[in-house]
Chain A
Amino acid sequence: MIRSLLAWLDNRTGCNGLIHEALYEKVPGGARWRYVWGSTLVFTFVLQMITGIFLWTAYSPSAQTAWESVYYIQEVMFLGKIVRGMHHFAAQAMVVLLAIHLIQVIIDGAYKAPREINFWLGLVLMKIILGLSLTGYLLPWDQKGYYATQVSTKIMGATPVVGAQLQEVVQGGAQYNHHTLTRFFAMHAGILPGLLIGFLALHLYVFRRHGLTVHQPKKKPDTTFWPDQVLKDGVACLGVLAVVLLFAIFKGAELSPPADAAKAYAAARPEWYFLFLFRFLKFEAVEHLGLAFGAIYVPGALMGILFMMPLTAKMKAGHRFNVAFTWLVTFGIVVLTTMAFYEDANNEDHQAAIAEAERDAHRIKELASRPSMIPVEGAVSLLREDPFTQGPVLFAKYCASCHRYNGHNGRGVVLKQTDKDTKKVSTVIPEATDLANFGSRDWMKAIITDYGNHFSPLKDAQWYPGADDAEFNLDDSEMASASEEYAEAFTSPENANDLNALVEALVAMRGWKGDEETIDAKLVARGQQILDGEPLADGTEISSCTDCHDTIGSDFEITGEGYGYPDLAEYGSAKWLKAFISDPGSDQFYGAKNHMPAYADKMNSTDLDLLVRWMTGNYHETHVEDYPSRIPEVFGAGAQPAAPSADE
């Protein structure tokens, strides 16, 4: 029954002959593992077609939906992480397999007559595959792909004569926009795969015409493609699939933060297999010769030599030259790639940029998975409006020229300076307090018992007048003397509880998010008594804080009036902090003693709000690991650290 049906089909279509042709191709000298590479490439391409089409069913190419849809595929959809991971890693496998295939063809002489045409077809296929990986890199519309692809389109713009027009056409406009994505997507999922299929068919047809290039003396009798070589090919493909799956499951494709044209991405790098070109372009000599030289002429010349190989081979020692050239270029690529990796691993700025990108990437996933989901403006607005993300950036921009945050600039970077003459790199000494623990219990405790030390970084400030000026002298000012005077009493074991009570009463004024649960009301009550001047447990009489700071308590109001003793009403609260940062030299705060710039005109209210919300912990709860403390590095020189603390 089936037999007759097949016979009928064969009679009408001649399919048996085709199948026979396909399966019983001769393999001279027996099946070999070295013949599997071409098949693994075809398999990987099929794998890309399968995973690519399924990804297509969930991908949405526009500037407000591309990242969002990829996020949804990766984090929410069933097996989405695996499907995207397979597509991501199979693309990389394809480049590796392509390199192996090409090198093998050259060293085996399989490019020589009569196989010239097939070699050229293979080079076209290579270009198409590189085009696929380049266009695919942009599609997630994440910071990494966005800024890496910017480099590629800028290189296009450096093309002689038509560069600018070419770039604009490819981008669908002068800048990246919705159409950049739709155009790249049409290339990636339509035009390039179509071309690939066409050229692959030609490649296979011509390959069959000339047959395998037999390497070395035949060690075994001839056989046919089916089943011996098919089994070897299949096992190799299975190996590729296994590697791709393992990477997809255990590593997973990266999704960096959503593309933000307003936020430069210092960690931008091309995909690793283009790193050699990236590194090559960074050579000073190459840079000097211009982008077109390094990115267009040199690769073009190498491709030209590659293209000419079948003709070169006809010359005396031509084949040897080709093989030597191939190994030389391969060696160069390996060296440049290694250099790029090595340099990046040892580049502090690059590492800091990566750490920030990872922090943002984790954070955006937290924000996007909230019940309010992703706003229509796109996920990038979630990060722009997030104090946890923007606070450190604003701190680095506005505060870190004097202050530090756990020893770094807020973004995890220890500020360094290079001496003009000696070229020696040294840490920049902070000129104001470390603010990582601002408003915490440790902060309050340090002010009460160790004021001079707590503010000691001020001594390194340019303006610091030194010991001659009693008002500024941190070891001799009013508050420093008071703190010194009480330190002994407060640190005696008898008064330990009273110190905690006073600290608690001060902390209670800040009213941060979550304080209701953590503030100890009993301690606050006792602390209030001490603030009002009651003696400590061991009978020590201390003068009340309100003698100078006559406004301790609640109901902070901006009056601009006072005597240069900081207003402590709602001290540490967002309201207080905003008023202070806006005008620290107001008589309500430090008055004439102040040296901090007023930020009322330097920062807009949105930024001030984000900064203050970050400093006071008022943002959507996070499990993202913050930048590690760098205090030991900054204060290693012997200056005193501002006791770091993870308050609550």
Chain B
Amino acid sequence: MSENQNATPDADDTPPAESASETCCGTSPSDESDCSGKPRRNFVVEFAAAAVGALVGIVPAAIGGLFFLDPLVRKGDKQADPAGNSEDTGGVVKDAQGFIRLTLGIDALPEDGTPVRYTVRDDIVNVWNKFPNQPIGSVWLRKIQDQVLAFNTVCPHLGCAVDHRPSEGDFYCPCHTSAFDLDGKPLNVIPPRAMDTLEAEVRDGGRIWLKYQEFRGATSEKVPV
């Protein structure tokens, strides 16, 4: 096989190539100085060599690169179905819109609208592991007639946890003294916006469903993160 290859097919295109290299480099190994100039170039061979060289480099690099882009390529193709009811494995019940069913019914909230702090739990997927029923954040819940008003406890100012102050009848952040009334409206100029309300629904006979979200801090607009 190797002998056949020596009859380079592109020799026809550039017949002087061989003779040029012959005269230049000769057969004597000692006359290196004569060869300092490049031999007459054979562009077809050069092009082919460069192309093949590039190909063997690009193919693995491209495959690897696409593999690395996996998070973008597989977006939306989550292995685990977040809406799948996994209660039987100790998980959390969640609907397709992302509403989590709380373990708390509306009847458990005080009639007078006093806020109740509640830790929201969700199943956390970490690549190949699923951690069922993990705390993901906390909320203030208030019963207003037969509806539920829910606030994220994270202060919209700089992210501390907002407390309920029964003595003053307000929400109060101990870090930078942000204060809000029980409807979440700012009572001083420190917070850039009202407390962040969360979507909450009362379904199937008094069970509270909540869509837990977090929002960017220190902005006057409420932007989910």
Contacts and interface: CB of A to CB of B under 8 A. Distances in A.
Interface of A: 24, 26, 28, 30, 32-34, 43, 46-47, 50-51, 53-54, 57-58, 68-69, 71-72, 76-80, 82-83, 86, 218-224, 226-228, 230-232, 234-235, 237-238, 241, 245, 368-369, 371-376
B18 A221 contact: yes
A374 B89 contact: no
Interface in B12-59: 18, 21-22, 25-27, 29, 32, 35, 38-39, 42, 45-46, 48-50, 52-53, 55-57, 59
A54 B5 CA distance: 37
B84 interface: yes
B45 A231 contact: yes
B52 A234 contact: yes
B86 A83 contact: no
Most buried by A among B5, B59, B60, B89: B60
What 10 A-B pairs are tightest by C-beta distance, nearest first? A234-B52, A54-B64, A33-B2, A231-B49, A227-B49, A373-B130, A230-B49, A227-B46, A221-B22, A78-B73
Given A222-B25, A223-B39, A227-B42, 14 more contacts: A51-B64, A76-B128, A78-B66, A78-B74, A79-B63, A80-B70, A86-B60, A219-B6, A221-B21, A224-B25, A227-B45, A227-B49, A235-B52, A374-B128
A80 B52 contact: no
A33 B49 contact: no
Given A53-B64, A72-B127, A235-B52, A226 B46 contact: yes
Contacts of A235: 52
B80 interface: yes
A375 B91 CA distance: 12
A169 B3 CA distance: 53
Contacts of B167: none
B125 A373 contact: yes
Most buried by B among A221, A223, A373: A373
B86 A372 contact: yes
Given A30-B6, A57-B68, A238 B21 contact: no
B7 to A, nearest CB: 10
Contact of A373 (B53, B60, B74, B129): B129
Contacts of B48: 227, 231
Nearest to A375: B129
A79 B67 contact: yes
A58 B67 CA distance: 10
A50 B86 CA distance: 40
Nearest to A52: B64
Chain B interface, >50% SS class: helix
Contacts of B60: 47, 50-51, 86, 241
Contacts, number: 146
A57 B22 CA distance: 51
A83 B67 contact: yes
Interface of B: 1-3, 5-6, 8, 18, 21-22, 25-27, 29, 32, 35, 38-39, 42, 45-46, 48-50, 52-53, 55-57, 59-61, 63-70, 73-74, 79-81, 84, 86, 89, 91, 125, 127-132
Contact of B55 (A46, A78, A238): A238
A373 B91 CA distance: 12
A83 B64 contact: yes
Contacts of A69: 127-128
Contacts of B127: 69, 72
Contact of A228 (B45, B52, B80, B129): B45
Nearest to A64: B129
A610 B50 CA distance: 62
A83 B66 CA distance: 10
B39 A224 contact: yes
Contacts of B69: 78
